[in-house]
A and B are shown apart, each in its own frame.
Chain A
Amino acid sequence: MMGVDVNKLGISIGGKSIVRDVNVHIGDGERVGLIGSSGSGKSMISKAMLGLLPINAQTEGSVILGDTQVVGADETVLAGLRGRYVGAVFQNPASSLNPVLTVGKQIELPLKLHYDLDKADRQARVSAMLEKVGLDATVAKKYPSELSGGQQQRVGIATALITSPRLIIADEPTTALDSITQRQIVDLLVSLVDKAGASMLFITHDFSVLARATTRCYVLDGGRIVESGNTADLLEHPQGEQTKKLVAAARELTLQRKQNRDD
């Protein structure tokens, strides 16, 4: 099956160290969080897992997906891994969908790449997937610009999940959405990932979202893991400086949200 082991991962670009000595383990079927403020190196770690780091990036250590070493792997090995075993949901749904392709076409593309299906089969699967993410089958004919942010992110999730990957990397999938939609998207991701028995790495800077999405998490600061453990515990008893800050920020936001709702 599909566990992930990141050992002593280090990433530097142009001599500047971005991620240092990162160890992350994701068990099979586990939902794990990676939390940190902007610039802490979260996205770099997810890119390293997909083998999509910038060409000038230098990496050390290892990222092992299942039994494949991703760091320094051949492009053909990576292409076979992506989609089939790893899928990614991105931060900004508006820009991560191609503006000139219809929604149906975009969800169909990964299927076309990885499976030998005829057109009718593919379209049936696209319709089924749309339904799974809570969209009408007619959405397939629309262009991304005709959808709301929440709907666009549902399409993003559908694109990532249509090939049934074993590991979903969700790179701040809710950051660009409003708070109500955020919760819906997180709940949708969690239920789909659990139903498929897949694992998930959920990247965010927002503890309140993380608690909903994951059971265990790593706190990242300045490219290093500063704390890790059960998400609920960390939220209750943050130890490190950075964790406290992030928890405080989440509390404030949640409180404000509650106040706004009371008004």
Chain B
Amino acid sequence: MTRNNEHSASETVRTNNAPANMGTKASSKFTVVLRSIWRRGEGKFALIVLALWLAVSLLSLVWTPKSLWATDGYHVWAKPSAAHWLGTDGTGADVFSWLMAGARTNLFIAVLAVVFAGALGILLMSAMVSRSSALSNVSVVAVDALISIPTVLIALILAVPMGASVVVIIIACGIGYGLNLARIARPQALLAANSDYVASALSYGASGFSVIWHHILPNAMPTIMVQLSLSAGTAVLAESGLTYLGVGVPSGVPSWGHSLATSVKFINVYPLTVLWPGLIVTIVVVALNVFGDVLRDVIDPVTNPELREV
């Protein structure tokens, strides 16, 4: 009966005899991660900024202080006032309203670029750590070759047939960040692919897909999540850059890049109109970077004991 001795001696006995309940796991895990992020000062900052971004985006669909198309011809380049909280631009349109409406375009771009990048990156990462040496070798070389093409160049090429459009930004960012993601997540995935637990999974008959889904992906997830939240920040920056170059958001569609691009020529005369969108982009990008950083610490059950209690 020695094994029972070991069992009772080294086990931290918990007395509830409820069978392992994994039913509500996904939702409660999400809450625990959010709570863990909230508990840190910088995490709180990131969550507040991101929540505001989402709230303003939704609000702008139904309400902005002034209509986007209402121009006040008598007050162009106006300073902030009660009538125009952040002043007006060269056409006399309300800067605050345009920035509010821009939030939703940028959110849309960031979310879709991240989804696209995530899907592409995970697919390529899986190919790169495949047990088939032909597939892994080809995908490693392909990713290394393609990664040398700058995102801006991809956008410029895409803009030739498609013109300036939101889709150009999303595809260009998706490809660029997806390739980056695959390369950054590969070492982690490779470590998992060569691990004993994958050998063990193969020994009980797990398929390639099952190994990737149950073993490689969860272990690479912290890296992937961090990289994706950094990518969301970069997508916001890229939108500004590409719109400035004329291949991003078309004129007439509100976005932070659009607000920057239309006012940056007059920075010497009316610096304030450049300051506002610049400030927002900076704050949002910092928040996303911080978010990624904090997320890395809290998403791993090995480093975050709170997740183990779920």
A1→B33 CA distance, assembly (Å): 49
B31 within 8 A of A: no
Q: Which residues of A contact B23 (CB under 8 A)?
A: 119
A114→B131 CA distance, assembly (Å): 22
Contact sample, A vs B, 6 pairs, CB 8 Å cutoff: A87-B203, A99-B197, A110-B206, A119-B22, A136-B13, A184-B6
A33 within 8 A of B: no
A50→B203 CA distance, assembly (Å): 6
For A92, A98, A104, A126, which residue has the most chain B Cβ atoms within 10 angstroms?
A: A98
Q: Which residues of B contact A50 (CB under 8 A)?
A: 202-203
Q: Which residue of A lies closest to B20 (CB)?
A: A140
Decide: B10 and A140 in contact? CB cutoff 8 A. no
For B196, B205, B214, which residue has the most chain A Cβ atoms within 10 angstroms?
A: B205
B204 within 8 A of A: yes
Q: Which residue of B lies closest to A87 (CB)?
A: B204
With contacts A90-B200, A140-B19 known, is A98 near B7, CB below 8 A?
no
B59 within 8 A of A: no
A95 within 8 A of B: yes
Q: Which residues of B contact A137 (CB under 8 A)?
A: 17, 19-20
A84→B199 CA distance, assembly (Å): 16
A123→B23 CA distance, assembly (Å): 11
Say which residue of B14, B133, B197, B203 sits within 8 Å of A86 (CB atoms): B203
List A residues 163-221 near B (Cβ within 8 Å): 163, 169, 180-181, 183-184, 187-188
Interface of A is mostly: helix
Decide: A84 and B205 in contact? CB cutoff 8 A. yes
With contacts A99-B302, A123-B22, A183-B2 known, is A138 near B205, CB below 8 A?
no
Interface residue ranges, B against A (CB under 8 Å): 2-4, 6-7, 10-14, 16-23, 131, 133, 195-197, 199-207, 210, 214-215, 218-219, 221, 300-302, 308
Say which residue of A83, A100, A145, A156 sits within 8 Å of B218 (CB atoms): A100
Decide: B19 and A123 in contact? CB cutoff 8 A. yes
Say which residue of A98, A135, A140 sits within 8 Å of B219 (CB atoms): A98
A84→B196 CA distance, assembly (Å): 20
Decide: A127 and B19 in contact? CB cutoff 8 A. yes
Q: Which residue of B lies closest to A188 (CB)?
A: B3
Q: Which residue of B lies closest to A46 (CB)?
A: B203
Q: Which residues of B contact A160 (CB under 8 A)?
A: 200, 203-204
With contacts A109-B210, A113-B204, A184-B6 known, is A138 near B17, CB below 8 A?
yes
Decide: A109 and B201 in contact? CB cutoff 8 A. yes
Q: Knowing that A95-B196, A134-B6, A136-B11 touch, tell me 8 more A-B residue pairs with CB under 8 angstroms.
A: A80-B205, A88-B203, A96-B196, A109-B204, A110-B204, A119-B22, A138-B16, A150-B6
A102→B205 CA distance, assembly (Å): 19
Decide: A101 and B214 in contact? CB cutoff 8 A. yes
A117 within 8 A of B: no
A148 within 8 A of B: yes
Q: How far is the CB of A142 from chain B (nearest CB, A)?
A: 7
Q: Which residues of B contact A183 (CB under 8 A)?
A: 2
Q: Which residues of A contact B7 (CB under 8 A)?
A: 134-136, 151
Give 1 or 0 for each of A71-89: 1 = CB within 8 Å of chain B CB.
Answer: 0000000011111101110
A124 within 8 A of B: yes
A243 within 8 A of B: no
Decide: A98 and B215 in contact? CB cutoff 8 A. yes
Q: Which residues of A contact B196 (CB under 8 A)?
A: 90-92, 95-96
Q: How far is the CB of B146 from chain A (nearest CB, A)?
A: 26
Q: How far is the CB of A237 from chain B (nearest CB, A)?
A: 30
Q: How far is the CB of B281 from chain A (nearest CB, A)?
A: 35
Q: How far is the CB of B205 from chain A (nearest CB, A)?
A: 4
Say which residue of A82, A95, A102, A134 sits within 8 Å of B203 (CB atoms): A82
A40 within 8 A of B: no
